[in-house]
Amino acid sequence: MRKLLSLIAVLPLLFAPAVASAAGPAVKLDRADVDTADMVSLQAGARTFVNYCLNCHSASLVRYNTLTNIGLTEQQIQDNLMFTGDKIGDMMEVAFPKEDAKVMFGTVPPDLSVIARSRGADWLYTYLRSFYRDPNTATGWNNTVFPNVGMPHVLWSLQGERVQKVAETTHDGKQVTRVSYELATPGTLQPAEYDAVVRDLVNFLVWIGEPHQNKRKQVGVWVIFGLVVLIGLSYALKSAYWKDIH
């Protein structure tokens, strides 16, 4: 038993380096102020998603008619968010062949149905705002959150082209390398406007990860309220039952 306990205590130390290596260098994530009850934001995010993301990434766990839950009619979905011969009840699949995608990007673009639940809203928000030009990569782009990512910056026309600046300085007698990023070519949007577009897109990705989460939360409030009432009634019944005995 003593040997078993010692082995259990050592196991986390054995796997810690591997976990740290897989996680990569720590990057400060910016907070994504998402609100899945904001229908206007979700509709804007859906528009960005189908125009810029659905060309390569699918959302195969979500049907087009599920978007009626964000305040859209089926006709609005067909007219504005469907550009192929898909039917309103079909899944949000991509027509881009996986074999061609693997040849072009080196890997098949992941399905985005639950990417927000996997990566987190803050990670996605920071990632989509952290691309910069890098001539040493196959796509010509790199990312500070996901180094050497195979995905090009599909929103570059909105954000513009950022470049990396590396400067060598001396601090306390030591050589220090400072890395900064600046906007070399402006996009069609101002930085604050681009951040708002990314926020809406991330909000939509959070929502499709669990389209019924708002309803679930509402039901949860009523369930808790019902349990509180039942606890009160149970206590009153217990008091009435035992009052004559005590």
The CATH number of the domain holding residue 113 is: 1.10.760.10
Least-confidence region, from 19-33, 91-105, 137-151, 168-182: 19-33
Residue 147 forms part of a structural domain: no
Residue 100 forms part of a structural domain: yes
Q: What residues make up the domain containing 110?
A: 18-135+191-237
Residue 172 forms part of a structural domain: no
Residue 214 forms part of a structural domain: yes
Residue 184 forms part of a structural domain: no
Q: How far is CA 200 from CA 77, 123, 125, 179, 208, in A?
A: 17, 14, 10, 29, 12
**Predicted confidence band of residue 20 (pLDDT cuts 50, 70, 90):** very low
Residue 143 forms part of a structural domain: no
Q: How far is CA 195 from CA 35, 130, 191, in A?
A: 15, 11, 6
pTM: 0.78
Tell me the per-residue pLDDT of 32-66, one tens digit each, with 9 for 90 and over: 999 999 999 999 999 999 999 998 899 999 999 99
State whether residue 149 is helix, strand or coil: coil
Distance CA 182, CA 164 (A): 7
Residue 92 forms part of a structural domain: yes
* CA dihedral sign of residues 222, 225, 227, 229: negative
For residue 196, give every residue at least 6 positions away whose Cβ sits within 8 Å of its Cβ, in sequence order, or none. Answer: none
